[in-house]
Amino acid sequence: MRDLVLVGGGHSHVQVLKRLGMQSIPGVRVTLISEQPLAAYSGMLPGCVADQYTESDMHIRLLPLCAQSGARFIQGSVSGLDLPQQTICFNDRPPLHFDVLSLNCGAQPLVAPQLGIAVKPISQFLPAWRVALIDIQRAPERVPQISIVGAGAGGVELAFACRTALPESVRIKLFGVKLLKDHSESARRRVRSVLLERGIDYVQERFTSALAEDGHPVFWVTDVKAPSWVADSGLDCDELGFVRVNEQLRSVSHPQVFAAGDIAHLSGQERSKAGVYAVRAGKVLASNLVAASQELPMVGRTHRYRAQRGHLNLINCADGTAIASRGRWASRGRIWWHLKDYIDRAFVSRFNDLAEMPQPAAAVSGALQPELPDESMRCGGCGAKVAAEPLRRVLARLPQQHAAYVSLGIGDDAAQITNQGSQTLLTVDGFRAMLDDPYLFGRITAHHSLNDIFAMAAQPTAALAFVTLPLMAAHMMEEELFQVLSGAVSVLNEASVPLVGGHSAEGAELSLALTVTGSAEGQTLTKAGAQLGDKLILTKPLGTGVLLAAAMRGESDGNGFSACIASMDQSNSRAVAILQHCQVNALTDVTGFGLLGHLGEITRASGLSAQLGVSSLPILPGTEAAMLAGIRSSLHAANQQALVDYAIPQPMLADARLGVLVDPQTSGGLLATIPAVKADECVQALRQAGYTEAAIVGQITAAGSSQITA
């Protein structure tokens, strides 16, 4: 009945999600919007630079956290707010409605990009740091110096970390008008001592562009400002664009908006921008969002945030010691490093080491147990299809379907209807949602549905939609329908395919199916045209089925999930033209029956066999790791039956990549047979057109036994 939307995966919001995992809010749908599926814990960044932590150690995995809390995860970049309409705006998708909004999205550096590399946002800093580090390690004589701008605790820690990471020959300069301006003189003395001990020059002046003219790396750890869209939205903000909030962390101008962390300006209790305040605010923010989204009063101490005036500061010296300070007291020692390490690891662990999601128990008799499905948690997307063998048996039991105008019927990617000389192609495809994001789900379903027309080298011409919506408040069902159809239409419009009608219904969960018509200028391609000696070319990497299953179970790798989404949201339309130019003989799209299932359709229709090499398979990142962890799509076991049609060397039977061959794909690539003389040219053209993982994965062989080789 209400939408609570969290923008940003900051230190406060992860605590809100953790609380919701223990107790949900009745009648409230929670959505997290984040630019990345990983949230960096800033306190561990210097340790990561100094190689004391891996990047995995310092990141909170938002996908599993959302899965456990029952929150939707939408990966996107917010560009504005329409507060009168209560919507969140984006540059690349329709606005999203909220009833209650919470901001914990961090801040941006007060520095021009041309002057150096800013530490925030961390997601952009880490790749830039890796590039700079490799360049310096390869040829330190070409980079005699680096500069770090900002002499607060963050700049000091980064300087110490860089000293540990870089060769001794590289000079490090730390610039700032005042060293540790928010700390005591005792803490400053100890920091100066470590700077001297480690050969780091502290330059007590402002850094100017003239000092960077020799092109040496410059890292900025200075004051920050809010993203411009925050102040532009009409929220009451301070001079740097931070949202003014009261002690309830509620906007002083818009009561339906809350803010915490760097993005918030605590009216009446102003503090410096430090992660400790976002951490401490998390509990109060969670209580207030629970109350506000249910329109309950917020009274009592649990709803008031009091920012502490002092706290223990721990500065990592990146040498096995740390400097601790509070008030006038300061101390350096190994014990403080161990304390900091314990605190930081414990914080990240709270959100990454989650209890296993309980599997529903099936209370059936022992005699019926063998007929239970292998996976009680069922997949969405193409993992939710009916398996190939039951489908073939059902179609065989139906009466034969004949008509004079049907030139191609069941068996190819689309049916073909001949109308007074012209030909019309017809196909239908769809599934229940495999993603939390309804807009992105709509886009991927449209890509997937158009692929059946593209796989016959034809042009889609029109589409009908069938949408099933879960029961919600009327305004939420309307918004859900708008989001999913907007996603579908955005892809259809890119392909010049009008949505000409459809039907909507109420059901248990969100689902979308599209009926697509198409036309072919010349001869349509089928699965029956493969020729002996043709090379098998795959346009996209494999692994969407297992990666979506991992995300549904809350076990997804963030990088793998992002790569999976990007692959599914890529059209195959440009690939068809390239394949036609390279004299494609047979073509199909790889979907629910996996690569082997759809290759089998080609070889059976063509009366030939095939040889596949698993080492040449393009595979999405995180796929093999998920396979090795035992994660499978719910259609995987049925698809495995295709392996019996292939001769497989004994040593390969335990190879995880065999599982990838039968993994059901959603909006997968095209599988084409191309004359051998054109194959290399074809792959090169595909890669230049954006299908960067396109590869030759095997070849068509004489009728007999198909093979899988290393």
Catalytic residues: 382
Who contacts 514 (Cβ-Cβ below 8 Å, separation ≥6)?
Answer: 428, 429, 430, 445, 446, 449, 463, 464, 465, 466, 488
Beta bridge partners of 78: 90
Dig out the tokens for 154 from the structure. 């963050």
Rounded Cα–Cα distance for residues 68 and 591 (Å): 29
For residue 112, CA distances in Å to 125, 217, 229, 631 come to 14, 14, 18, 45
583: left (phi over 0), alpha (psi -120 to 50) or beta: left
DSSP-derived 3-state class of residue 289 = helix
Rounded Cα–Cα distance for residues 307 and 282 (Å): 12
Beta bridge partners of 459: 519
DSSP-derived 3-state class of residue 248 = coil
DSSP-derived 3-state class of residue 417 = strand
Q: Answer whether 91's CB lies under 8 Å from 185's CB.
A: no
- Residue 370's CB is within 10 A of a number of other CB atoms, namely 6
Q: Which of these, 188, 126, 218, 219, lies nearest to 315 by C-alpha position?
A: 188
Rounded Cα–Cα distance for residues 683 and 678 (Å): 9
Using alpha carbons only, give the angle 203, 118, 218 rounded to the nearest 5 degrees: 45
Q: Answer whether 289's CB lies under 8 Å from 16's CB.
A: yes
Who contacts 285 (Cβ-Cβ below 8 Å, separation ≥6)?
Answer: 12, 13, 15, 16, 102, 104, 249, 258, 260, 305
Beta bridge partners of 419: 422
Task: Please write down the long-range contacts of 110-118, taking CB distance under 8 Å and 24 or more positions apart.
Answer: 110/222, 110/223, 110/224, 110/225, 111/149, 111/220, 111/222, 115/209, 115/212, 115/218, 115/220, 116/147, 116/149, 116/212, 116/217, 116/218, 116/219, 116/220, 117/217, 117/218, 117/219, 117/220, 118/219, 118/220
300: left (phi over 0), alpha (psi -120 to 50) or beta: left
Element holding 200 (H helix, E strand): strand 200-203
Q: Which of these, 511, 479, 475, lies nearest to 1 by C-alpha position?
A: 475
Rounded Cα–Cα distance for residues 546 and 379 (Å): 9
Who contacts 490 (Cβ-Cβ below 8 Å, separation ≥6)?
Answer: 93, 442, 443, 446
Let me know if 413 is exposed, middle or buried by CB neighbors in 10 A (0-12, 13-18, 19+): buried
